[in-house]
């Protein structure tokens, strides 16, 4: 009888764990389903910028902090103000931590390092263009002459980093912009 109870308890525990995992997968899928289509230029707005199930997140919301990909959870530090700028050369964008005055997303001056947030400058402008899928975008750095942003696993024991290289039609280069509802 004791063996039967233990077996039932283990089966129930595994079933609850599986349901919990399925719910979190469903939440991630449903939230990315709200991503903007790329058939028109991205409008100015507040967005979560997502790659797979991870979102751009500054280590801390202060000047000079690195930006990594963290599990997408909809937190305030995962919200970004994306501003469209029209010029004679076309449309460019700035990306900054939502609600901040000076925390602009920008590539690190050394290319083999994850980006950071800091004061606005020549290195904080991007082209955001349609990617290979209907809700996928490429984020191209003007500082790096059009190289596209992609996820980069430096070590599985550390947060996922970001790099800029020539665009490729792979998931690591594809970004989704999910309205943050503000």
Q: Which CATH number fits domain 34-179: 3.10.180.10, 3.40.640.10, 2.80.10.50, 3.40.50.2000?
A: 2.80.10.50
pTM, to two decimals: 0.82
Cβ atoms of 173 and 138 closer than 8 Å: yes
Confidence category of residue 5, pLDDT binned at 50, 70, 90: low
**In the chain, domain spans:** 34-179
On whether the CB atoms of residues 42 and 84 are closer than 8 A, the answer is yes
- Mean pLDDT value of segment 125-144: 95
Compute the average pLDDT of residues 99-127.
92
Q: How confident is the model at residue 1 (pLDDT cuts 50, 70, 90)?
A: low
Q: Which pLDDT value is given to residue 11?
A: 43
Distances (CA, A) of 31 to 45, 52, 175: 17, 11, 14
Give the pLDDT confidence score for residue 13 in this predicted structure.
41
Confidence of residue 168 (pLDDT cuts 50, 70, 90): very high
pLDDT, greater one: 27 or 113: 113
Residue located via tokens 């602009």: 104
Q: 10-19, 57-66, 146-155 — which is least confidently predicted?
A: 10-19
């Amino acid at each position: 009888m004791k063996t039967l109870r233990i077996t039932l308890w283990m089966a129930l525990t595994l079933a609850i764990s599986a349901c919990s995992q399925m719910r979190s997968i469903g939440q991630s899928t449903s939230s990315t389903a709200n991503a903007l289509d790329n058939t028109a230029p991205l409008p100015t707005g507040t967005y979560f910028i997502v790659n797979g199930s991870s979102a751009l997140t500054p280590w801390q919301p202060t000047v000079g902090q690195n930006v990594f990909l963290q599990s997408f959870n909809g937190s305030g530090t995962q919200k970004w103000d994306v501003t469209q700028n029209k010029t004679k050369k076309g449309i460019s964008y700035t990306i900054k931590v939502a609600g901040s005055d000076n925390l602009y997303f920008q590539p690190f001056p050394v290319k083999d390092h994850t980006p950071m947030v800091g004061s606005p400058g020549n290195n904080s402008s991007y082209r955001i263009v349609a990617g290979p899928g209907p809700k996928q975008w490429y984020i191209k750095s003007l500082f790096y002459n059009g190289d596209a942003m992609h996820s980069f696993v430096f070590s599985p024991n550390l947060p996922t980093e970001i790099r800029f290289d020539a665009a490729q039609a792979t998931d690591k280069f594809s970004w989704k912009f999910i309205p943050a509802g503000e």
